[in-house]
Amino acid sequence: MKSTRLLAKFLHPYRHLVVIAPLLMLLEVMMDLMQPRMVQRIVDEGIARLDLGVVVQTGLLMVALALIGACGGISNGIAAETAVQGFGADLREALFRKIQSLSFGNLDRLGTGHLITNLTNDVAQLQEALLMLLRILVRAPLLLLGSLVMAIVTGPQLAFIPLILLPMELLAMVWVIRRTTPLYTLVQERLDGLNKVVQENLAGIRVVKSFVRAPHEEARFGRVNDDLMMRAIQAARTVAAMPSFLLLTMNLGIIGVLWFGGWFVKGGSMRLGQIIAFVDYLLTTLFSLMMVSQLVVQLARAEASAQRLQEVFLAEPEVVDRPDARPIERLQGQIAFENVTFGYGRKDEAPVLKEITFRVEPGQTVAILGSTGAGKSSLAGLIPRFYDATAGRVSVDGMDVRELSQADLRRKIGFVLQETVLFSGTIRDNIRYGRPEATDEEVIAAAKLAQAHDFIMALPDGYDTVLGQRGVNLSGGQKQRIAIARALLVNPTILILDDSTSAVDMETEARIWRALTSLRQQNTNGMAAPRTCLVIAQRIGSVMSADKILVLEDGRIVAEGTHEELLASSPLYRAIYRSQLDGGVMEHA
Ligand code: M5T
Ligand code: MG
């Protein structure tokens, strides 16, 4: 079972508690089992003989036993809860760490909905099962066996009654469990669906509102919500049959005991107190069996969750460092693609990049131009090994990136991703995300280069302005410039800008370029200039001063050269140029 393996692994630090908790429960169960015998004594020796001394004495003893039992029960609760909470926290932490270690490809496939459900609901299901294990697993079977034995010892003549009723109840239980286990698996799946809808909706709430799709989203949520409810009710309804059946067997038991017991009492072979104690033990026996069944149901639910957790724990990161991965001291910044083919999905799908070959020499700025979906971002993502090439070779400074340590490689690359992601926190902390030890002067220098300093200073709190989740309180262009500053601050040898100025006006974009160029001519403010720049852009105006322009079309490089060369040689480039020229794009040429 998946759950046992997970439980065993993550319970190891709490093994003492796991042993102590059942022992404490044993204490409670033993005390509980003595109670009916005490009642028997009060009835047969106290009340029947009108001996008040026995009644008081036994009554006090019962109170003492109950107190001892309660102490056992409470300490069991504390021990169990401590183990369960520790277990849950450790499991969540391990899961979080595992998620951090996964590659882009793994995360694409698992999906955030699944991972969030993992971290919350699935862990909680396992915790619930563990709590029941530590509290009920010991209590129910012990109580079951103990009270059965006590019943037989108390009234051997009536022993046949539980021996008939127990198998009957067992059959009913097996029937219920068989039916509910698959139902609860469905409930879990529906919960997954609900989480996905909520998560997607919250992440995209602005889109929802701008398209006035709230009613549609409400309907979508309503559907999964109702579905979840229906399944939960269906499962609960089946489980609900259990108590009625239990009641039936219990009542049958009472009738049987009174019927036959009355007989024995009349014949003088049994006494009234014996009968009362016997009934008590019998009811406990039948009730304990039902507790066992609840445990089985919860274990089945936990098993489904454990299976989903294992899916993440057993996922192998797609991009891994070789054991002999080369550490990187310094980079010159040369990049080379040799016959690189790459696809995201299965092997039989058409690749996104086809036989890409090009070189960027240290100190060069190379631009990649191409229509949307041509594969520009995919190409850039191969350099820091977000994904590995399907065929061919990507290298920096002549070293295959697959031979390098991912962390070292990524530290040398400043990547401004196409989709700007900022974190909640101050602007300062966002800019120094990649180098938390950077001084305020360095942060300001990077912001100045990215043309972000002026607008930051215009904010009431300047660099201490607190950004909301994902930086919601900034404009698109402001966010992009903070992302550029963040990339520049790590002093990367290779700078990759993926459409990073798309939301910035031409004037500001031109100033960013001038700042980068002057930085590369003289190192200002201790900032080391990136030696190699790879710039992805839609606007020719942004890239026409590049040392080389690659035109990407449908995953292939269809033209390559400087702006002038391409104007002369590539009809496609000329067409793009003309169409953008009409739009008045070229003012900073
Ligand atoms: C190129 C596919 C996408 C497109 C092609 C990022 C990503 C892309 N694709 C996937 O299947 N999975 C993914 O995770 O790859 O996409 P791109 O490289 O993002 O194109 P681009 O950067 O040139 O486009 P744009 O719009 O950013 O200018 O077919 O379906
Ligand atoms: Mg892109």
pLDDT exceeds 70 at position 288: yes
CATH number (3.40.50.300, 3.30.70.980, 3.90.1150.10, 3.40.50.2300) of 413-491+501-530 reads: 3.40.50.300
Beta strands per DSSP E along 449-541: 466-467, 494-498, 532-537
Residue with CA nearest ligand 1 atom 7: 378
Straight-line distance from the first to the last Cα atom of the chain, in angstroms, rounded to the nearest whole number? 67
Alpha carbons 379 and 401: distance in angstroms, whole number: 14
Alpha carbons 575 and 584: distance in angstroms, whole number: 15
Q: Is the dihedral of CA 14, 15, 20, 23 positive or negative?
A: positive
Q: Kindly state the average pLDDT of the residues 425-452.
A: 92
- In our burial notation (b when 16+ CB lie closer than 10 A, e otherwise), range 556-573 reads ebebbbebeebeeebeeb
Q: What is the pLDDT of residue 68?
A: 92
Mapped onto helix, strand or coil, the DSSP state of residue 446 is: helix
Task: Measure CA 311 to chain center.
Answer: 11
Alpha carbons 387 and 381: distance in angstroms, whole number: 7
Asked if residues 494 and 531 have their Cβ atoms less than 8 Å apart, the reply is yes
Q: What is the pLDDT of residue 347?
A: 67
**Highest averaged pLDDT of the listed ranges 123-137, 293-307, 519-533:** 123-137
Beta strands per DSSP E along 242-370: 335-342, 353-360, 365-370
Q: How far, in Å, from the CA of 288 to the mean position of ligand 1?
A: 59
* Backbone dihedral region for residue 522 (phi beyond 0: left; psi -120 to 50: alpha; all else: beta): beta
The amino acid occupying position 421 is: V
Relative to the CA of 418, which ligand 1 atom is closest? 27
**Which of the four pLDDT bands, split at 50, 70 and 90, describes residue 66?**
very high
Q: What is the pLDDT of residue 340?
A: 93
Mapped onto helix, strand or coil, the DSSP state of residue 358 is: strand
Q: Average the pLDDT over each of 38-47, 194-203, 250-259, 446-455 and give the range with the smallest value.
A: 194-203
Q: How far, in Å, from the CA of 353 to the mean position of ligand 1?
A: 10
Q: Kindly state the average pLDDT of the residues 108-117.
A: 80
The residue among 213 and 519 whose pLDDT is bigger is 213
Residue with CA nearest ligand 1 atom 14: 344
The amino acid occupying position 164 is: I
Asked if residues 412 and 328 have their Cβ atoms less than 8 Å apart, the reply is yes
Alpha carbons 524 and 510: distance in angstroms, whole number: 19
pLDDT exceeds 70 at position 137: yes
Query: 44: which 2 tokens?
Result: 């047969």
From 107, 356, 376, the mutation candidate for ligand 1 (largest count of ligand atoms within 8 A of CB) is 376
- In our burial notation (b when 16+ CB lie closer than 10 A, e otherwise), range 104-123 reads ebbeeebeebbbbbbbebbb
pLDDT exceeds 60 at position 336: yes
**Which of the four pLDDT bands, split at 50, 70 and 90, describes residue 587?**
very low
Give backbone dihedrals phi and psi of 588, rounded to 5 degrees, phi first: -100, 15
pLDDT tens profile 215-247: 888 999 999 999 999 988 988 888 777 778 888
From 378, 420, 543, 551, the mutation candidate for ligand 1 (largest count of ligand atoms within 8 A of CB) is 378
Alpha carbons 542 and 588: distance in angstroms, whole number: 9
Instruction: Kindly list the protein residues whose Cβ atom lies closer than 6 A to any atom of ligand 1.
Output: 108, 344, 352, 370, 372-378, 418, 499
Q: Kindly state the average pLDDT of the residues 150-171.
A: 90
Asked if residues 531 and 330 have their Cβ atoms less than 8 Å apart, the reply is no
Q: What is the pLDDT of residue 5?
A: 80
Helix axes 52-101, 272-313, angle to 10 degrees: 10
Q: How far, in Å, from the CA of 497 to the mean position of ligand 2?
A: 10
Strand-pair partners of 513: none
The fold adopted by the segment(s) 331-411+533-589 is Rossmann fold (3.40.50)
Q: What is the pLDDT of residue 588?
A: 42
Same fold, 331-411+533-589 and 413-491+501-530: yes
Task: Compute the mean pLDDT over every residue in the chain, rounded to the nearest whole number.
Answer: 87
Q: Kindly state the average pLDDT of the residues 354-379.
A: 91
Alpha carbons 26 and 472: distance in angstroms, whole number: 56
Q: Which ligand is nearest to the CA of 368?
A: 1
From 110, 318, 344, the mutation candidate for ligand 1 (largest count of ligand atoms within 8 A of CB) is 344
Give backbone dihedrals phi and psi of 402, rounded to 5 degrees, phi first: -70, -15
pLDDT exceeds 70 at position 488: yes
The strand pair at 494-498 and 413-416 is best described as parallel
Q: Which ligand is nearest to the CA of 378?
A: 1
Alpha carbons 233 and 238: distance in angstroms, whole number: 9
pLDDT exceeds 60 at position 404: yes
Alpha carbons 305 and 6: distance in angstroms, whole number: 11
Q: Average the pLDDT over each of 164-168, 259-263, 295-299 and give the range with the smallest value.
A: 295-299
Q: How far, in Å, from the CA of 100 to the mean position of ligand 2?
A: 24
Asked if residues 14 and 82 have their Cβ atoms less than 8 Å apart, the reply is yes
Q: Which sequence spans correspond to the domains of the chain?
A: 2-314, 331-411+533-589, 413-491+501-530
The residue among 545 and 149 whose pLDDT is bigger is 149
| Domain with residues 2-314, CATH architecture | Up-down Bundle (1.20)
In the structure, ligand 2 is a single-atom ion and the residues with CB under 5 Å from it are 377, 418
Residue with CA nearest ligand 1 atom 13: 344
Q: How far, in Å, from the CA of 470 to the mean position of ligand 1?
A: 22
Q: What is the pLDDT of residue 583?
A: 52
